[in-house]
Chains A and B, each alone.
Chain A
């Protein structure tokens, strides 16, 4: 081909591209057609929800959860502050007294029954702010739709978390709790009423922790329920291996 033919072809191509660009950017029809053309190269926005749900925000207000201490005692003391804070009257708490043989939480009382009515709960989190022991927190779970109103009333056994691996399910006896020697309120308060006559025993042997924090798992002196005697002195020694054998 001659130089002239090359030039003609190149000029034609340039003119074609120019015309196409003009049509796609300057005419009404072309600008409309350019939208799906552009969209062919854009990553889809759709979240494939049931198969691969996108993570929620870290502080998302999902359903509630009742927490435990590291030894399995419940944090809830049955004070009903959450129920009083609730703007929708969605929380029902029935408090009960801890006894020496049936201890559910440190302190005098525990939640005998605890219900959250998700027919009314607006997941605002005021109950979480009201809770003095961080017993009630919110999870990021939100798949709680049900086909009846009864199915949306969550009872204590549904809300309470499983006991931690080194802990035991409630109730405990006072003797077991005393032998562990944890300080449940981070040194700001006292350990459970472990002596007769209602006197309180300070947790001298327990390591100091910040308020609300649980004692790390390693430092838990293990006393299985039922075998709790005073043989294991709560002297807080670091022999975690020996404690693990018990």
Chain B
């Protein structure tokens, strides 16, 4: 835990009081807290000590890190992210190899039982050599780091649910953090990648109140994952009226009609994309003309084709239907033959 407060840090970075309060208001509302809590959030956040955070990237593509650190540029959200004492993140830090590992071990020792552990990427349970950091395999590194953590944030769908590494045929036996760690509070911030403001809001709540947000059944903050994208989609009225784009370049697509027919997963995907949006609130995939692919949900990669409508399901194939026809026909012929034999026997008797 650093001796510098978050308020000191932000002032050192030239953040004005007005901008700071604006951020606190937005974060308070985003967390689902009443707006009257804003002064408390501001006061607590200003006085809060910078918490020690250890970030372990495992089987990941660095998209989550990119999302948090690069997407918005130098916004207050990214400054809050910087305001934490990020003691270990091997993608971002200059040190590497044994030197970096010593930093991690020292930070863990100094803050044992108090640091926040962020994990992005899934954990391979097959051959330990599938993914290693400075000679340490991911599974043992996670267990060791989780042991001294106050709480864990599983960042991105890979850490939250296994994600793309866990998609069929799952060559590495990839699992989520919650599959491995059972005795620590875990917040799943799913998405591929997750929305930056969601992770900063979780961090802000933790820094401000020392608590974690209320979670849904999949361990995600309810404030952001409480409603489907379809529920909050600006194209929803077109769905209700039965106005759909049939292709990505037809008249319906140009008129901004609903993308359900083109495979949009909005009705079964819980995330805040439609409200918080991306790139500083500029847009989100559906607004850009592409259906939601459901990346914040477990197993999204194996959940049918992204361009098949949600109502199609995995009904089988011509082969399975053909086999069913063959079996049904054989049973029908056999039962009729049996009945005919009984008829003949009865007539002969």
Are A and B genuine complex partners? no
